[in-house]
Amino acid sequence: MMPRNLTDDKLDAVIKAVAEKLKEAGFVRRGPVLRILKDGNCGLIEFQRSQKSLPENLLFTVNIGIVCGSLLDGPTSEIEKIRIIDAHIRQRLGMFLPGRPDKWWEVTPQMDTESLAAELTEHLSSKAVPYILGLLSTPAIIALWQSGQCPGLTDGQRQRFLSRLAKSAN
C-alpha cells in the first residue's frame, strides 16, 4: 500500500463531505463508495483514483452504478460490499454533465476542498441520485434493458441478464 499524502487526505475530505450531504437521500459511505440499498438492489457512487495520479496532483472520477440483486451469484448479504465493477448499469458522473465528458477532477495540496465537495454534491444530487433512485427497482432495470439501453454493458450482456431475470420470475 502506498503511503498517504496531503492529496489523499483532501480527497477523503471531499468524499466525507459529499457522503454527509447524500446521507439525507439514504446513501451510506464505506471508504470511497456510497451505497443505497432498496428491494434487494444497490445504487453505487464510487470515487475512483487515476493510476496517473501523483502525490502533488491526484486525479479522480466518479462512477455511478446500479446492481440488480437478483443477478448476483453470491449471497445477497454481499450486496453491502459490492463495488462498481459488479454493477449491472454503469455510468461516469461526466455522462450527466453538459457535453457528456469523461470527467476527471483534480486534487492538489493547495485546493479548497469545500468548493469541490459542493460542486460534486450539486452534480450528484441533481442528476446522478435521481437516476439511481429511478433504477433501484428490478422492474425499472428490466424496462431500461427492454428499451435497448444498457449503460456499461454490451448488448449481449443485456440480453443474458434479461433472460436470467425472466427465468427467475417464472
Q: Which residues partner with 47 through β-bridges?
A: 62
Quote the number of domains for the chain: 1
Confidence label for 170 from pLDDT (cuts 50, 70 and 90): low
Q: pLDDT by residue (tens digit) across 3-45?
A: 578 899 999 999 999 999 999 999 999 999 999 999 999 999 9
> Using an 8 Å Cβ cutoff, are 66 and 135 in contact?
yes
Q: What is the pLDDT of residues 84-143, one digit of tens each?
A: 999 999 999 999 999 998 999 999 999 999 999 999 999 999 999 999 999 999 999 999
pLDDT band at 164 (very low <50, low <70, confident <90, very high): very high
Structural domain range at position 165: 6-169
**pTM for the whole structure:** 0.92
Q: Could you report the per-residue pLDDT of 69-95, keeping only the tens digit for each?
A: 999 876 555 888 899 999 999 999 999
Domain membership flag for residue 1 = no
Q: Which amino acid is at 7?
A: T
Residue appearing with cell numbers 453538459: 98
What does the DSSP assignment read for 44-103?
EEEEEE-TT-BTTBEEEEEEEEEE-GGG-SS-GGGGGT--GGG-SEEEEGGGGSTT----
Is 77 part of any domain?
A: yes
Q: How many residues does the chain have?
A: 170
What pLDDT was estimated at residue 169?
75
Domain-embedded: residue 37 = yes
- From the list 43, 61, 48, 51, the residue with the least C-alpha distance to 133 is 43
Rounded to whole angstroms, how far apart are CA atoms 40 and 17? 27
- The pLDDT assigned to 55 comes to 85
Residue-level pLDDT at 133: 98
Is residue 128 in some structural domain? yes
Closest CA to 138 of 94, 79, 78, 63: 79
Collapse the DSSP code of 30 into the 3-class scheme (helix H, G, I; strand E, B; otherwise coil) and give the result. strand
